[in-house]
Homo-oligomer: A and B are copies of this chain.
Amino acid sequence: MSGPIVIGLDLGGTFIRAGLFHSSGELHGVRQAYMPTRESVQKGLEQIAALVIELTQEHGSAHLTGIGIGATGPIDARRGCIQNPFTLPGWEDVPIVDWLQDRFDLPVLLENDADMAALGEYWQGAGMDVTRLAVVTVGTGIGTACILDGKIYRGLEGVHPEIGHHVIDPSGPLCYCGAKGCWEVLASGTAIARTAHELLQAYPSSILWSKTAGGLEQIHAHMVAEAAKEDDPLAVRVIEQAGRYFSLGLVNLINFFVPEMIVLGGSVMNSLSLFMPFIERTITRHNVMVPATRVRIIPAKLGIHAGLYGAAFCILQKLEMSRYELD
Chain A contacts to B: CB under 8 angstroms: 73-74, 132, 154-157, 159-163, 165-171, 176-179, 244, 248, 251-252, 255-260, 285-291, 294-295
Alpha-carbon distance between A171 and B172 when the two chains are bound, in angstroms: 11
B171-A257 in contact (CB<8A): no
9 A/B residue pairs, CB under 8 Å, sorted by A: A155-B257, A156-B294, A160-B258, A163-B255, A163-B256, A165-B255, A169-B171, A170-B248, A178-B287
Set of chain B residues within 8 Å of A257, measured between Cβ atoms = 155, 161, 256
Chain B hits for A154, CB < 8 A: 258
Contact A167 B288 (CB under 8 A): no
Within 8 Å by CB of A256, from B132, B157, B256, lies B256
Given known contacts A154-B258, A251-B167, is B289 in contact with A177 (CB within 8 Å)?
yes
Tell me whether B252 and A294 are in contact (CB under 8 A): no
In the bound complex, how far is the Cα of B256 from the Cα of A270, in angstroms? 25
Copies of the polypeptide in the assembly = 2
Query: Which residue of B is nearest A247, CB measured?
Result: B167
* Separation of A154 and B171 alpha carbons in the complex (Å): 32
Pick the contact of A291: B156, B163, B294 (CB < 8 A): B156
Q: How far is the CA of A289 from the CA of B183 in the complex (A)?
A: 13
- Residues of B near A73 (CB, < 8 A) are 289
Q: Smallest distance from the beta carbon of A147 to chain B beta carbons, Å?
A: 13
CB distance from A77 to the nearest CB of B (A): 14
A286–B177 CB distance below 8 A: yes
Q: Other than A132-B155, A178-B288, give 12 A-B pairs with Cβ distance below 8 A.
A: A73-B289, A74-B290, A155-B290, A156-B260, A157-B294, A159-B258, A162-B289, A163-B255, A165-B286, A165-B289, A169-B169, A170-B248
Q: Which residues of B are found within 8 Å of A289, using beta-carbon distances? A: 73-74, 162, 165, 177-178
Chain B residues with CB under 8 Å of A171's CB are 169, 171
Q: Contact check: which of B132, B163, B256, B286 meets A179 at CB < 8 Å?
A: B286
Report Cα–Cα, A114/B193, bound state, in Å. Answer: 41
Q: From known contacts A154-B258, A156-B258, A256-B166, infer whether A178 and B285 are also in contact, taking CB-CB under 8 Å.
A: yes
**Which of B155, B167, B287 contacts A252 (CB under 8 A)?**
B167
Report the bound CA distance from A285 to B178 in whole Å: 6
| Residue of A156, A159, A162, A257 contacting most chain B CB atoms (<10 Å) | A156
A227 CB, nearest partner CB in chain B, Å: 25
